[in-house]
Structure 1
Amino acid sequence: MPPLDQTRFRPPRGVHADAALAFGTLVLVAIAEGQRLSTGEGWVPSRIASWMLIVAVCGALLFRRRFPVAVGWFTALATGGYYLLSAIDGPLVVVPIVALYAIAAHGRLQAAVAVASSMVIGVYAGTLVGNSDVTGTAVFMLTGWLVAVVALGSVRHGRVAYAEEEARLRATEERLRIARELHDVIGHNISMINVQAGAALYRLKKDPAQAEEALGAIKASSRETLRELRATLGVLRRVDEEAPTSPAPGLAQADELVASAKLAGLDVRIERTGAERALPAPVDLAAYRIVQESLTNVAKHSDAGQVTIQLAYGVEELTVTVEDDGEGAAAGPVGSGGGSGVTGMTERARALGGELTAARRPEGGFAVRARLPYETAGEPTERSDR
């Protein structure tokens, strides 16, 4: 048996739903009004006015999404006029109730309360002037229905507002993640290219062999930059496709960062302590990016000659420390907010439930220290932390 195609049975939505509701209400009221024709009363002016109000009230329902408050007041007043002219208790009251829901669903709570109050007062006034069709019990029940409609509309508005805020937060977080990835991927290689180009110019006349080596490193770094940029943009262009299967960078590629930094004139060594273990992918990526950005900052803002990378594998967390012996302006951009490197590293650490500090060392130089817990790597962070 072929599967049932549920898309063929979708109820109308939006303006089509309003049109269907308006037409259905018009048919029901017309059937009720048709009973008056069988009595032989004829087309008296009151009946003509009743039909005009019926058509106007049902037609106004088509504009309830664009002008909810105006439609609410119009349908409430026009429906009240219809019941004064007509002796038939038709279902036209459905229209102002729907319009009342639209007002509350748009977040216009005060207007909704005002319209609902006027409807209750109008019906109660009808009982006072001797309308036996409406009793005090009916007024009480109508009040309960209107309160429920306003409450449902307010709940709908709250849910829509919450969903929109969630969507905005997700979009903001995604933009920050993309910006952080592009900064870490592209910024490191471009910074190294800049340092290596300066070294090549300095050595061009004094030591052509070293200058040639630096130019070769520039060529390799630029090729790697283009490759990573194409890969990143390729991922961003993918919509409704499978996730990329290539592994994300990790500490296994730390030696490549060291080799690149050495070509820029830095003496870098890695010290590992503790029992090495397989790291969760988010922790591995964050540690790699922190080391990468720290080396970029050293090359750009410091006159350091030696850099030490310490990887301490603890029982519950990984500690990454990058220290240099620079005496230049390594800490200037870090603390002043002139760049986004340390900000990005801090965000990476906090996203994993850890922390990062970056400051000058008392004995000279600069140090970046990050604490990255293992167990919180796969857990979502709280909105307040973000």
Structure 2
Amino acid sequence: MRIRPQIADAVIAVALVCAAAVLGTESGSQGWSPLDAWGYALVVLGGLPLAVRVRAPLPLLLWSHLVFAVYVAGGYWPVVASFGPMLSLYTVASLCTLRTAVVCAFVMAGVWVYAGVVSPHGSMASVVTQAVVFPLVLIRFGALARRSAELARRLKREQADRARREVSAERGRIARELHDVVAHHMSVISVQAGLAGFVFESDPPTARAALATISGTSAEALEELRRMLQVLREAEDGAPAAPMPGLDRVAELAERIRAGGIPVTLRTVGTPRPLAPGVELCAYRVVQEALTNVLKHAGETRVEVQLGYGQHQLTVSVINEGGGDRREGAIQDRVRTGGGHGLIGMRERAKLYGGSISIGPRSRGGFAVTLTLPTSARAVPGEEDTTG
């Protein structure tokens, strides 16, 4: 259980008063005047205010030294009432600037020398030494405490800033996932719904096939959203999350686009092999976004998706040959202006996994998206993206 600072200071003040009262009983044996009612009252007046030392360090320092001077003038043993002034100087050094602490050290040294002058016992050389050494030691320890407190506050701020950045990054990741899932599936559903409505009377089999595609696509969208929710819950309750889609499902993407009326060819170069889940998800989402853009903007065209498995990298290309449809220019306009959350998401994904991506029109017509990723899940700053 953590004790509140105010309660801790109150306990310290009471403990010091009790220790001083017990030590005061030895005054007679040390050759000093025994503590009477006035002496004990001064001990209490100098000790109990230490309970508020953090709230008012400077007033407390002045008060404790004033009470100490009156106590010494009464002929009592100075050691008994010395705890309050020393603790008050330490408090000032730990909470205030070094200049303020040095000024207060001179106050303490002056009162200490005064105690040596009015006291009938003790060596003046010893008193002066104590008046110099004690304040220096107290200032040193107070400065260390102040520095530690500043470092702790700075660390807390840095941790809060890091937490905010992590939350922002996680929100961005979730936004990208939602965009990729919803945009792709809704585009397919929109195209198929339009086709079903157009041929509903003239070609019932085609309409039924379009409705079946809509049903399957919507079910898959819901399943992917459920996976995302499981991933989000995993950090809270430790429940295992269902795997996110990977390259083994690119064929399903191609088939879905074919159902939308666009011929898609899927080619694999090299020997397919399992890759890090993050790399596979990144490649899958880029293919998904590229095919979604083809479906929405490219019009009548042919598309080739190529997966290249190299020794140390994966290369993914999505190329549409272009069909002269004026809607194809929409993608080019978005690339030139830097717009489109999907294009931004593709670039961010590539950078996250240390890869590079090229997005732009081809010299022979059409449009191409080429992604290159190292076959490692290590997220490092990637190469600069290229456009065009």
Regarding TM over 0.5, the answer is yes
Matched position secondary structure for 1:135 = helix
Q: 1:294 to 1:339 in 2, by over 3 A?
A: same
Q: 1:78 to 1:342 in 2, by over 3 A?
A: farther
Matched position secondary structure for 2:102 = helix
Alignment partner of 2:12 out of 24, 30, 36: 24
Conservation of the 8 A alpha-carbon contact between 1:323 and 1:365: yes
Conservation of the 8 A alpha-carbon contact between 2:110 and 2:131: no
Alpha-carbon displacement from aligned partner over 1:272-329 (angstroms, at most 9, x marks no partner): 2123332222211111111111111222233242111111111211011111134341
Give the CA RMSD over aligned residues: 3.0
Alignment partner of 1:174 out of 167, 170, 177: 170
> 2:353 maps to which residue?
352
Give matches, 1:287-306, under 5 Å.
287-306=283-302
- Taking only the aligned residue pairs, the percentage that are identical comes to 31
Conservation of the 8 A alpha-carbon contact between 1:123 and 1:139: yes
1:255 lines up with 2:251 in the alignment: yes
Q: Distance in 1 between matches of 2:381 and 2:331?
A: 33
Alpha-carbon displacement from aligned partner over 1:153-192 (angstroms, at most 9, x marks no partner): 2222232222222222222222222222222222221222
1:13 lines up with 2:2 in the alignment: yes
Alpha-carbon displacement from aligned partner over 1:189-221 (angstroms, at most 9, x marks no partner): 122212222232333355343233222211211
Give matches, 1:94-173, under 5 Å.
94=87, 97=90, 101=94, 103=95, 111-113=96-98, 115-126=100-111, 131=116, 133=127, 134-173=130-169
> 2:83 maps to which residue?
91
> 1:51 maps to which residue?
44
> 2:74 maps to which residue?
none
1:184 lines up with 2:180 in the alignment: yes
Q: 1:157 to 1:263 in 2, by over 3 A?
A: same
> 2:342 maps to which residue?
341
The TM-score with structure 2 as length reference comes to: 0.79
Amino acid across the alignment from 1:330: I
Alignment partner of 1:321 out of 317, 320, 326: 317
Give matches, 1:37-48, under 5 Å.
39=33, 41-44=35-38, 48=41
> 2:380 maps to which residue?
381
Alignment partner of 2:237 out of 233, 238, 241: 241
Q: Distance in 2 between matches of 1:316 and 1:184?
A: 27
Q: Distance in 2 between matches of 1:382 and 1:122?
A: 58
Larger Rg computed on CA atoms: 2
5+ unaligned residues in a row in structure 1: which ranges? 1-11, 65-69, 104-110
Q: Distance in 2 between matches of 1:22 and 1:96?
A: 17
Alpha-carbon displacement from aligned partner over 1:90-132 (angstroms, at most 9, x marks no partner): 433446635754x4xxxxxxx4435533432432443565756
Conservation of the 8 A alpha-carbon contact between 1:355 and 1:371: yes
Amino acid across the alignment from 1:179: A
Alignment partner of 1:272 out of 265, 268, 272: 268
Q: 1:96 to 1:234 in 2, by over 3 A?
A: farther
Matched position secondary structure for 1:330 = helix
Amino acid across the alignment from 1:91: F
Deviation at 1:32, TM superposition (A): 0.4
Amino acid across the alignment from 2:20: A
Matched position secondary structure for 2:209 = helix
Q: Distance in 1 between matches of 2:102 and 2:222?
A: 67
- Paired residues in the alignment total 353
Q: 1:337 to 1:211 in 2, by over 3 A?
A: farther
Q: Distance in 2 between matches of 1:136 and 1:336?
A: 71
Amino acid across the alignment from 2:370: R
> 2:370 maps to which residue?
369
Give matches, 1:199-238, under 5 Å.
199-238=195-234
Greater shift, 204-213 or 293-302, is seen at 204-213
Matched position secondary structure for 1:329 = helix
Greater shift, 364-373 or 176-185, is seen at 176-185
Alignment partner of 1:193 out of 182, 185, 189: 189
Conservation of the 8 A alpha-carbon contact between 2:24 and 2:35: yes
Q: Distance in 2 between matches of 1:151 and 1:229?
A: 49
Conservation of the 8 A alpha-carbon contact between 1:79 and 1:96: no
Q: 1:156 to 1:232 in 2, by over 3 A?
A: same
Greater shift, 255-264 or 298-307, is seen at 298-307
Greater shift, 73-82 or 213-222, is seen at 73-82
Q: Distance in 2 between matches of 1:139 and 1:97?
A: 8
